[in-house]
Structure 1
Amino acid sequence: MHDAPRLGSLFGPDSQFHRFFNDPRWAIALIRATVLEAAHPQVGAALIDNSSFVAHPWRRLRNTLMSLQRMFGPDDDVRQREAARLNRMHARLSGTDARERPYDAMDPGVRAWVVATLFESSVTMCRLSGQPLDQTTMEQLYAEYQAFLAVLGDAAGHLPPTLAEFWPYYDRMVEEELEDTEALRIILYRLFDHLPAPPLLDGLPTVWAAGRALAGPVIGSITVASLPESFRRRAGLPDVPGARTLMQSAYVAAGLARFLPDNWLRTESLTDLLFQSSDGDASPAATLTALRGRMKQAGALFRLVAPFAEQPAPPGGPGPQRSADAFFTEVLDQTGDGYLEWPDLASMARELASRLDLDEPAETRLYQAYAEWWKELQAALDTDGDGRVSKEEYAAAVPSLAGPALIRVAEVLFDVTDADGNEFIDADEYRALFRTAFGRTVADADAGYSRSAFVKDFLSFMSGRRRSTAYDPLLAGA
């Protein structure tokens, strides 16, 4: 057996992970890995209770890709900082599932399974596309994922030490641990069928609906066909005729796309395009505006030849205010379960902390501010005492939303955004939070964004339900 590679060689541009990250096949493999993760009862329960992946799937995708880039990049300081952030985030995710079984995102065995699905799905994507990995490359990739767990601080042993021992471990997990979880069913049969448009296409509902109607069932069928056969049978997942042929064709076609010019398929470039705001920096925004114009023309032509039913207006449409019902659904209900609970506000805090790349003290302050707001909301809105706020309870007492605790959230958010502490948010600080330039949304861009103006705008958005070109993409966007 070849010598084990040094730890330093397991990260950065020369790693196997880096090569796969920009491989079109990896997009399909990542979906497969996510389904296998969700089939673990602890992971599935954590997703259902805490994740915003149903209501905000594109945000979740971007954050996952950004985290992986930080963890596998060449900068060890960035890697250690991201590992600490992930550990703080996971430490907040625990509870019990519908069968009263405990789950804990810090469970090292569960975290090992998440990493195992990424590794195994990478190996499987190569095999299904007719380009199986050789032993040396496979061992290198496995060592990289072991190093990933080591950076997180998990003790050795939860992921088998050698590749030869990994495959029996994987088979045992599939046979004994995986279940037909609610999260798995949502991903396969709800998420793809109701996937909201990414920011690039949020103004083109007809075009998006047409593409989703065609692609959703195909993606679901491909993913199911690629899962281990024993688990498919046990979970009762349908074996659609022709699905395996379609799956192999998709992997082969994606593999051929690797021969396109490198700058066409860089994951970072594609995600930047998908998530770029139309009022962002000049050059990217101009490119996006031109692209959106072309797509709108195509959408108009498509409606003429294949009209669809009228689609609801997307968030951020005309009009300064949204209804209480729309605000509850688009902003407050981050997990998409129809209720306002602590995980919804925790999801907001998590997104804000991630965007600003906060360290531990600042992140804790933000979470604590949101926790105090949740207590205030419960006291004011939870009239039936069930521990959560329904859409009806919210609509009946909307003015109560703007209490002292919400003002405290606004103050803390200003503090953690104002990185240099000069009591103004400058252009770079604004861009870190909103991912867009602030010339159009801040009255005096030269002077910066003052504390009072920031707090006023935040409260106007969160309590008055006023639409905002800054806050809608941040908290209401998909």
Structure 2
Amino acid sequence: MHWRGGAVAAPPERPHEVTSTAVTPLGPDSLTWRFFGDTRLLLVGPRAAVLQNMLPALGQGVLDHSVFFSETFARLRRSAGPILNTVYGGDEAAATGRRVRDYHTEIKGTMPDGSRYHALDPETYYWAHATFVDHMLYGVETFIRPLSEGERRRIYEESRTWFRLYGVSDRAMPEDWKGFQAYWKHMLEEVIVPHKTARYGVGYATKGLPAPPKVPARLWRAVSPPLNGIASFLTIGGMPPAAREPLGLPWSADDERRYQRFAAAVRRAGRLWPLLPEAVRYFPQARRAFARTRRTSR
């Protein structure tokens, strides 16, 4: 397997099959459990999804096979749930991870340059996973609190366990945190491109959100300007600088200062966060896992 013009050469006939030992799932002692289901990570915006689609093979797979263009937000919701269920699945995590993997078995085709792609090519599949790891690290440090270098290493090691729950070859996965940092830098600077799918995914940041079905046009005209402003601010602000320019997303020094002030205010408000109901603070998948753990401990 090798990169050719941003695509990958044809994978083996059944690239999803790997031989591996059983993987112990993540649990309540992990930093990933503590942070990945925190609703404050919504403030990051669609960083992970957009970066995923900037990998040519992945963007092409979405273009060819997904309902992303006709049901953008519904598709994002359907994708996020199984990922959260893999992280918080406990004894069912590996089975859930394999189901997530198998959703992608038939996502394959031909790139514009004639090379073949497959969603389960290890390099392609690992890139999707890496964007979730980055999403969590960026979201925590931006909107929750700074992480120590030891915590970053720990989260990365936990992400290796998480990835192995999918049952996909881990040959593309860096061996350690330092390797992941080098990998991430290489992907942002040398591999990702402004694929059509990614450009479409952030189009609302400059053109405005599409009107939801059944919302009267007059009402939408009244409420959409502030919603568009918030969506644009969070979407563009949450993107790495290396991705903003190729995607044509406008962002000034003043915008950056406002974004950093906003992030600092959210971090300060974090002192009050534990006082809010768990239903506000965590996604349902995390809450179910916490409840399961409490029952077991009793």
TM-score if structure 1 supplies the norm length? 0.49
Please state whether the residue corresponding to 2:202 is helix, strand or coil.
Answer: helix
Pairing 1:431-446 to 2, within 5 Å after superposition: none
Measured in 1, the distance between the counterparts of 2:284 and 2:64 equals 29
Residue by residue over 1:223-269, the C-alpha shift from the partner in whole angstroms, topping out at 9 and shown as x without a partner, is 33333333433444322453212332443444436345123333229
Match of 2:283 in 1: 267
Match of 2:238 in 1: 226
One-letter amino acid of the counterpart of residue 17, structure 1: T
One-letter amino acid of the counterpart of residue 156, structure 1: D
Pairing 1:337-416 to 2, within 5 Å after superposition: none
Shift in CA distance, 73/225, structure 1 to aligned 2, threshold 3 Å: closer
Measured in 2, the distance between the counterparts of 1:226 and 1:74 equals 28
Q: CA contact under 8 A between 1:29 and 1:121: conserved in structure 2?
A: yes
Shift in CA distance, 19/243, structure 1 to aligned 2, threshold 3 Å: same
Match of 1:160 in 2: 174
One-letter amino acid of the counterpart of residue 69, structure 2: V
One-letter amino acid of the counterpart of residue 225, structure 2: A
Structure 1 gaps of 5+ residues are 1-6, 270-478
Structure with greater contact order relative to length (CA < 8 Å, sep ≥ 6)? 2
Please state whether the residue corresponding to 2:103 is helix, strand or coil.
Answer: helix
Match of 1:24 in 2: 39
Please, which of 123, 148, 159 is the counterpart of residue 162 of structure 2? 148
Measured in 2, the distance between the counterparts of 1:61 and 1:97 equals 23
- Aligned-pair Cα RMSD in Å: 3.0
Residue by residue over 1:175-206, the C-alpha shift from the partner in whole angstroms, topping out at 9 and shown as x without a partner, is 111001111111111488334538xxx55665
Q: CA deviation at 1:100?
A: 3.9
Q: Is 1:245 matched up with 2:257?
A: yes
One-letter amino acid of the counterpart of residue 42, structure 2: A
Please state whether the residue corresponding to 1:238 is helix, strand or coil.
Answer: coil
Structure 2 gaps of 5+ residues are 1-22, 286-298
Could you say which structure has the larger radius of gyration? 1
Q: CA deviation at 1:165?
A: 1.1
Q: CA contact under 8 A between 1:95 and 1:104: conserved in structure 2?
A: yes
Match of 2:122 in 1: 108
Measured in 2, the distance between the counterparts of 1:146 and 1:268 equals 24
**Number of matched pairs:** 260
Pairing 1:40-189 to 2, within 5 Å after superposition: 40-76=55-91, 78-129=92-143, 131-189=145-203
Q: CA contact under 8 A between 1:42 and 1:104: conserved in structure 2?
A: yes
Q: CA contact under 8 A between 2:156 and 2:177: conserved in structure 1?
A: yes
Q: CA contact under 8 A between 1:226 and 1:244: conserved in structure 2?
A: no
Q: CA contact under 8 A between 1:39 and 1:184: conserved in structure 2?
A: yes
Shift in CA distance, 159/220, structure 1 to aligned 2, threshold 3 Å: farther
Residue by residue over 1:311-360, the C-alpha shift from the partner in whole angstroms, topping out at 9 and shown as x without a partner, is xxxxxxxxxxxxxxxxxxxxxxxxxxxxxxxxxxxxxxxxxxxxxxxxxx
Please state whether the residue corresponding to 1:91 is helix, strand or coil.
Answer: coil
One-letter amino acid of the counterpart of residue 85, structure 1: R
